[in-house]
Amino acid sequence: MNNKTINTSNQNSNNNNNNKILVTGGVGYIGSHTCIELIAAGYDVVVYDNLSNSNLEALKRTEQIAGKSIPFIEGDVLDKQLLHQVFDEHDFFGVIHFAGLKAVGESVAEPLKYYKNNVTGTLELLEVMQAHNVKNFVFSSSATVYAEEETSPIDESAGRSCTSPYGQSKLMVEYILEDLVVSDPEWSTVSLRYFNPVGAHPSGMIGEDPRGVPNNLMPYISQVAVGKLDKLKIFGSDYKTIDGTGVRDYIHVVDLARGHVAALNLIKKHTNIGSLGFEAINLGTGKGTSVLQLVKAFEISTQQVVRFQLTERRPGDIDAYYGNAEKARQLLGWQAELTIVDMCKDSWHWQSLNPNGYR
């Protein structure tokens, strides 16, 4: 008797050819730009977002730019029952997981909220994916997972350790993914470690819409230029950098979005030869820009004046932080194309057309 059986009922969806992607947090800043690039690349997109830090107007405008309607489910990644329903209804190739809380300072004040949302939320999502045999996953990690003492340019093999609950939540998810792929080699997971995302879609229709006074440099500069804020406080002018101000690796959000498409394409390519396991990849330009250099580039490229004042260092900041972008170039065939001038022009275009964001 021939005992050989072929189990067709439990095939991993890694092997299917469908192009449908669940984008959690797809109404947010990076998620909305990524939906546009995914659709342009031929993917079908379903967005899942609880709107805790976003506005549905962003999704409407994303649909206009993409020229396609985008199925949307208002839901929380902590709502496992709803997630199961969504996976019952759709046959996904994979998930890009942007949904998360991202304010470092708030995470120090409310760590439980951050661990629950960012870690428990991801666990719920991964469990639902596993139950539905969807094992392709792209995760929004952050360059903040690298240990502070690592010197720039930082590559992916650098040591990891975090000081804030926000950073810890990203690092914990990376550890979870590393264990998951060992337990089940059908998983393909890519953890994208973003450096400093800035800029907006060149149409000026979608962009970053921080609530309250921005913490990050580029939205602060734009709001000074548009007259909403009086002047920029430059935190520290005595760092060991080109001009004494802090250096970061700013990356245009459209380039960043395209990096996600490249990550999915890599996973797709691997479905023919076996799963990818876990890959952590920097998404940055590989170049550092100082605060003063960014202010000057903004003024020159937008013809706006940015009033500023040099003040003391911000606690917790370090002098220079930029990535090595070589792994992304080699593995993803991706590299950042847009310049600091593009980042400034597009930020300003979005800010000047939408002085109050989506409101």
- Calculate the CA 270 to chain-centre distance: 22
Q: Per the structure block, which two tokens stand in for 272? A: 């023919």
220 in contact with ligand UDP (CB under 6 A): yes
Q: Which of 196, 271, 285, 347 binds ligand UDP (CB under 6 A)?
A: 196
Rounded distance, CA 269 to CA 138, Å?
14
Residues 183 and 312 sit within 8 Å (Cβ to Cβ): no
Unique residue bearing structure tokens 């690796």: 249
Q: Per the structure block, which two tokens stand in for 179? A: 């264990």
Rounded distance, CA 241 to CA 67, Å?
44
Rounded distance, CA 347 to CA 359, Å?
17
Comparing C-alpha atoms, which of 321, 298, 314 is closest to residue 221?
Answer: 298
Binding partner of 215, given ligand UDP, ligand NAD, none, CB within 5-8 angstroms per partner class = ligand UDP
Rounded distance, CA 283 to CA 272, Å?
25
Binding partner of 122, given ligand UDP, ligand NAD, none, CB within 5-8 angstroms per partner class = none
Q: CB under 6 A: which stretch of 182-190, 212-220, 255-263, 349-357 binds ligand UDP?
A: 212-220
199 in contact with ligand NAD (CB under 6 A): no
Catalytic residue among 166, 194, 250, 321: 166
Binding partner of 30, given ligand UDP, ligand NAD, none, CB within 5-8 angstroms per partner class = ligand NAD
Smallest distance from ligand UDP to CB 220, Å: 4
Coil/strand/helix, residue 298: helix
**291-310 positions binding ligand UDP, by CB under 6 A:** 291
Q: How many of the other CB atoms lie within 10 Å of CB of 341?
A: 13
354 in contact with ligand NAD (CB under 6 A): no
> Bridge-partner residues for 277, per DSSP?
188
Smallest distance from ligand UDP to CB 310, Å: 9
Binding partner of 235, given ligand NAD, ligand UDP, none, CB within 5-8 angstroms per partner class = ligand UDP
Q: Per the structure block, which two tokens stand in for 292? A: 């003063």
216 in contact with ligand UDP (CB under 6 A): yes
165 in contact with ligand NAD (CB under 6 A): no
- DSSP letter assigned to residue 323: B
**236-275 positions binding ligand NAD, by CB under 6 A:** none
Residues 80 and 130 sit within 8 Å (Cβ to Cβ): no
Binding partner of 29, given ligand NAD, ligand UDP, none, CB within 5-8 angstroms per partner class = ligand NAD
> Backbone phi, then psi, for 61, in 5-degree steps?
-70, -35
Instruction: Considering the complex, state which of residue 219 and residue 259 has its C-beta at the smaller distance from ligand UDP.
Output: 219
Q: Which of 47, 217, 251, 262 binds ligand UDP (CB under 6 A)?
A: 217
- Residues serving a catalytic function are 166
Note the residues at the interface with ligand NAD (CB under 6 A).
Answer: 24-25, 27-31, 49-54, 76-78, 98-102, 117, 121, 140, 142, 194, 197
